A and B are shown apart, each in its own frame.
Chain A
Amino acid sequence: MPARLKAGKRHRLRLTLNGREVAGEAEPRLLLSDFLRHALGATGTHVGCEHGVCGACTVRLDGLAVRSCLMLAVQAEGRRVDTVESLAGADGALSALQRAFRRHHALQCGFCTPGILMSLSDWLARTPNPSEQAVREMLSGHLCRCTGYAGIVRAALEAAAEIAEDREKAPHDV
Chain B
Amino acid sequence: MKPAEFDYLRPASPEEALAALAQAGEEARLLAGGQSLMAMLNMRLVQPALLIDIGALAALDFVRLEKDALVIGAAVTQGALERRASLAEEVPLLALALPFLGHYQTRNRGTVCGSIAHADPSAELPLALVALEGAVMLRSARRRRTLAAADFFAGMLTTARRADEMIEAVRFPRRRLGAGYAFREMALRHGDFALCAVAAIADDAGLRLAIGGVADRPVARDFPLLEADALEDALDDFAWALGAGDDAHASARYRRSLVRKLGREALEEAKCRRG
Chain A residues packing against B (C-beta within 8 Å):
1, 3-8, 27-29, 31, 34, 49-52, 55, 58, 61, 64-67, 69-72, 74-75, 119, 123, 136-138, 140-141
Contacts and interface: CB of A to CB of B under 8 A. Distances in A.
B6 A28 contact: yes
A52 B35 contact: yes
B43 interface: yes
Nearest to B102: A141
A1 B10 CA distance: 10
Interface residues of B, number: 37
Interface in B2-24: 2-12, 16
Contact of B2 (A29, A52, A70): A29
Contacts of B16: 3
B176 interface: no
Q: Mostly helix, strand, loop or mixed at chain A's interface?
A: mixed
Contacts of A3: 9-12, 16
Query: 6 shortest A-B CB distances, which residue pairs?
Result: A141-B103, A28-B8, A50-B1, A7-B5, A140-B190, A70-B38
Contact of B104 (A69, A72, A119): A119
Interface in B82-121: 99, 102-106, 108-109
A16 B51 CA distance: 24
A89 to B, nearest CB: 25
B35 A27 contact: no
B39 interface: yes
Given A3-B12, A64-B108, A119-B104, A71 B7 contact: no
B232 interface: no
B34 interface: yes
Nearest to A133: B190
Given A66-B109, A70-B35, A140-B103, 5 more contacts: A29-B41, A31-B2, A65-B108, A70-B42, A141-B103
14 contacts: A7-B49, A28-B8, A29-B6, A50-B2, A64-B79, A71-B38, A72-B34, A74-B10, A75-B34, A75-B56, A136-B190, A137-B99, A140-B189, A141-B104
A6 B55 CA distance: 19
A141 B191 contact: yes
A27 B12 contact: no
Contacts of B11: 3
Contacts of A72: 8, 34, 38, 51
A69 B42 contact: yes
B109 A61 contact: yes
Contacts of B102: 141
A61 B55 CA distance: 14
Nearest to B1: A50
Given A31-B2, A137-B190, A52 B39 contact: yes
Nearest to A55: B105
B8 A51 contact: no
B53 interface: yes
A128 to B, nearest CB: 14
A70 B6 contact: no
Interface in B51-72: 51, 53, 55-56
